[in-house]
A = this chain, B = another copy of it.
Amino acid sequence: MPAKRSPARRPTMKDIAQRAGVSESAVSFALNDRPGVSEITRDRVRRVAEQLGWRPSTAARQLSGEGTATVGLVLARPADTLGVDSFFLQLISGIQEVLAERHLGLLFQVVEDVDDECAVYRRWWAEHRVDGVLVVDPRTDDARPDLLDELGLPAVVIGGAPDARHPGLSTVWADDAGAMASVVGRLYELGHRRIVHIAGLPGLAHTERRIRTLRAEAERRGLAEVCSVTTDYSDAEGAAVTRRVLEGGVLGGGSPPTALVYDNDVMAVAGVAAATELGFSVPGDVSVVAWEDSALCRMVKPWLSALSRDTVAFGRTAAVELTSLLDGGPARAVGVPVPGLIERDSTGPCGPCGA
């Protein structure tokens, strides 16, 4: 027989009942603030429970109809796209702040694509693993809301637009459209007329929203030479697209734009490097704005102007919505503050441009 050190035993309600001299039910009532026991007994039970270091077994609790006290989050991005992006860890740490308070666990999974993600939801649901989920990276044509509806799994969509077709889902959304409009406005003010938007993954709801807004704003202002190019968010594509754009291969007329808006910080940094290599000075020849602020933006020269928002708070808000949903609250759509443009050194007036 292996001399395995016998681990401590977990106390159960039965232990408490015995010690306190009452029935298990009484213990249950006492510990769950249900009527049916006197205050005196309740106190005694609570004390014993504390003293024994008792915590309810989530499994047992769940089996008798309560929830699992766990929410799920799945990230559908290939491992390498995940790398440098600081967004998710920040988001998650915001989420955790709220969940930890309520002793809710976070079940986390990384998968390759949305189909796998759906499979995970099904499995979690069938295995009774989670009470609800947080959905990130909503898409324009997204199978997930329908699925979650079908499964009856409470969910909040992070970064989606409010969606009338799924009244059961909460949404926490940032006003990308507003932010994009303000960026374009500011660039216009600085004299820029030729703008390229190096966007993120096509199909992502916020990517499409930004692209639409850019187009709308351009039309409104009568700018013909404005466009978006989608990428995979990687530094490699950021650099490649930047080269293509600056060599005149994208905008009409064969000449380069005077302002570039990148959908994340990683691409912006890579883009600036690429631009510099091609002999473009930033912001002399071309202005650069990064969507998403982070330490990265202050690690390169020139420091990048960036759209900054409080990602941790974003996560917190999402978690709060989910807990409220779990408490039986109504599904809602709540907005978070519009990202603000922090102007550092990578943006400037359009000099001898527009020629």
Contacts and interface: CB of A to CB of B under 8 A. Distances in A.
Count chain B CB atoms within 10 A of each CB in A55, A122, A294 and give the residue with the most: A55
A8 interface: yes
Contacts of A269: 299-300
Contacts of A70: 107
A66 to B, nearest CB: 10
Interface in A269-296: 269-270, 273, 276, 294-296
A127 B12 CA distance: 10
Given A8-B150, A86-B84, A106-B107, A54 B93 contact: no
Contact of A96 (B105, B109, B276, B299): B109
A168 to B, nearest CB: 8
A186 interface: no
Interface residues of A, number: 70
Contacts of A25: none
A92 B149 CA distance: 29
A294 to B, nearest CB: 6
B89 A294 contact: no
A23 interface: no
B90 A128 contact: no
A108 B301 CA distance: 36
Count chain B CB atoms within 10 A of each CB in A8, A58, A88, A235 and give the residue with the most: A58
A221 interface: no
A79 interface: yes
Nearest to A236: B295
A298 to B, nearest CB: 7
A325 to B, nearest CB: 13
A222 interface: no
A212 interface: no
